[in-house]
Amino acid sequence: MHIAVIGAGYVGLVTGVGLARIGDHRVTLVEKSPTRLHELEAGIMPIEEPGLPEAFAAARDRID
C-alpha cells in the first residue's frame, strides 16, 4: 500500500515512520519546509522522539 502523510512534524513524521515499519507500506512524506526536508534526507531528525532515529533508519528504503 502507498500512503501519503502531509507534514513531517511531531505527528506526521512519527506516523509515517511507524507505518513504513509495519507491513509492506510505502510512505511519501509531504513537507513544505525545505530545511526540514533537507534534514530528513541527511538522516537528521528535526524533532526529539525516543527511538525515532533508529526507526527512521530502518524504514528509510520505504519512505519517499
Q: Which of 58, 52, 57, 64 lies closest to 15, judged by CA?
A: 52
Q: What is the pLDDT of residues 4-62, one digit of tens each?
A: 999 999 999 999 999 999 978 899 999 999 999 999 999 899 999 999 999 999 999 99
Predicted local distance difference test score (pLDDT) of residue 16: 95
Taking the CB of residue 62, how many other CB atoms lie within 10 A of it? 18
Contacts of 41 (CB under 8 A, 6+ apart): none
pTM over 0.85: yes
Predicted local distance difference test score (pLDDT) of residue 23: 78
Predicted local distance difference test score (pLDDT) of residue 11: 96
Predicted local distance difference test score (pLDDT) of residue 25: 86
